[in-house]
Structure 1
Amino acid sequence: MTQSRVLFTKKITNNQKNSINIALDCYDFISIEMLDFHFPTTTPASHFVFTSKNAVDAVLSQYEINTTQSIYAVGKSTKAKLLEYAAFKNIQVPYNQYNAEGLIELFEQNNSNNFRYFCGKKRLPKLEDYFKTNQKKHQVIEVYDTILSPPSNLDTKNYQWLCFCSPSSIESFLTKYELLPHQDILCIGNTTAKVLNSHKNRIHVAKKATIDSMLNYLEEHYKN
């Protein structure tokens, strides 16, 4: 079998793979471990914050949340995951930036306070720094961990494009493989791209922080 020239460091759906006329090799470079955690019931929070679908699964697979609860979701896919569990009526998503900066912009617009932030053990400190600097009442609850699990024995040197969906996927890749000068790197967003600031590769960022946007970018820029 001829090897694809594009490596996706995350398994995506067949519908997504078939949406573009480019052959993709897709492997998971990270795995998720759900953590035991305590869900507070006696100390209400005005706003719940979810920055990933993994956090949604970790919480809502174990606990019910009132459908009128105010919820901030980092992006449309996280919102969609929430709605798989219940018909939540008050979910807000950033307008353009599907990242911490976009969430903070929403917090400021709404003058929000009293947050319960469900997150992974490996995370950037942006939101917590904002809460502390602005003296926002908040509670951080770690609900999952990200495990680096790069597949073995991949011949990565022949890939022309490498696609990364998180800083952790880059970290995982670099534990076993190296980025070569001829390779183009496509990142899901600026936060992921910043991890590669010290590398000399051509770094590309999808227009929106979604898998579909990454695929659209590939279709526009990939050359055989």
Structure 2
Amino acid sequence: MSLTDKKNILFTRSLSSEHIMYAEKLGLEVTAKPFIQIDLMPLSKEKTDLINSKPKSNWIFTSQNAVKSIAENLSSLIALGEKKVFAVGEKTAEELLKIGIEALLPEQHNSQSLLLLLEKQSASSYIHFSGNLRQNNISDFMTEKEFDFEEIECYQTNLYQPDVTITDFDAICFCSPSAVYSFFNRYKINETVPCFAIGSTTAVKLLDFSEHVVMSENTNVYSLLEICHNYLNS
């Protein structure tokens, strides 16, 4: 395949060399420009004491970043014991396994499916490890159920808007609602340019800015690249 046949894709996050090689095999020319920056936060003594004061509370992780933050502070937390740990997304669960924690996953890799799973549980006490730009659906659910619930903010998502020439790209890929917001806070795109999203939460956010949204239900970059290839060559 010649270079002229390749579709130019803008990814609004960083990609590994393996991702880029896979894209090239599919005939995609990928440019990775992160539109958010993540800062992991150390757990304060106040937060650590709060977590340890609730030894029976189940844990919820909706982001790899939250897991990475807790991994740096795990030694200060009491043992898991019999509590359950819930995760949204395969990659989040994989990060938890790296620190010896096996998580329960909902059928679909999104927070709405997580809430359906939580409804089936007998527990009524939860701790959600999250970032500063979290969605409110989990906390709203906990309030409605009158569960004992704490949110522990353990990472910061900062918006970042690099210089790009939007007209150079045949499609744009998003992996988080925060990246969607950051991108469209600076740029506008032609309505014919498709926007690809990982997961329903990101797709719903994209619909605020574009009607041309294509979603990957699998929460990994390889799946998103395959969908880009198939869609742009159909």
Q: TM-score, normalised by structure 2?
A: 0.86
- In 2: Cα distance, 1:59 partner to 1:211 partner: 24
Structure 1 residues 7 and 31, CA gap change in structure 2 (3 angstroms)? same
Q: Root-mean-square deviation (CA), in Å? A: 2.1
- In structure 1, the partner of 2:140 is 129
Contact 2:109 2:217 in 1 (8 A): no
Matches within 5 A, 1:31-46: 31-37=37-43, 38-39=47-48, 40-46=51-57
Contact 1:34 1:143 in 2 (8 A): yes
- In structure 2, the partner of 1:85 is 99
Say which SS state the counterpart of residue 122 (structure 1) adopts: coil
- In structure 1, the partner of 2:71 is 60
Partner letter of residue 187 of structure 1? A
Stretch of structure 1 that moved more, 159-168 or 202-211: 202-211
Partner letter of residue 28 of structure 1? P
Matched, 1:49 2:60: yes
Matches within 5 A, 1:1-224: 5-20=8-23, 21=26, 22-37=28-43, 38-39=47-48, 40-64=51-75, 66=79, 68=81, 69-86=83-100, 88=101, 90-95=102-107, 97-152=108-163, 154-223=164-233
Q: TM-score, normalised by structure 1?
A: 0.90
Contact 2:194 2:213 in 1 (8 A): yes
**CA distances 1:11-51 after superposition (whole Å, capped 9, x unpaired):** 12111222242121111110012234322323323311101
1:67, CA displacement in angstroms? 5.5
Partner letter of residue 94 of structure 1? P
Contact 1:72 1:91 in 2 (8 A): yes
- In 1: Cα distance, 2:58 partner to 2:41 partner: 22
1:4, CA displacement in angstroms? 5.9
Partner letter of residue 168 of structure 1? S
Stretch of structure 1 that moved more, 191-200 or 106-115: 191-200
- In 2: Cα distance, 1:198 partner to 1:138 partner: 30
1:194, CA displacement in angstroms? 1.6
Contact 2:35 2:179 in 1 (8 A): yes
- In 2: Cα distance, 1:223 partner to 1:171 partner: 28
Contact 1:47 1:70 in 2 (8 A): yes
Matched length: 220
In the TM superposition, structure 1's runs of 4+ consecutive aligned residues that sit over 4 Å from their partners are 1-4
Q: Structure 2: which 5+ runs fail to align?
A: none
Partner letter of residue 116 of structure 2? E
1:139, CA displacement in angstroms? 1.0
Identical positions, percent: 25
Structure 1 residues 107 and 198, CA gap change in structure 2 (3 angstroms)? closer
Q: Structure 1: which 5+ runs fail to align?
A: none
Partner letter of residue 65 of structure 2? N
- In 2: Cα distance, 1:75 partner to 1:127 partner: 15
Partner letter of residue 210 of structure 1? N
Contact 2:200 2:217 in 1 (8 A): no
Contact 1:182 1:201 in 2 (8 A): no
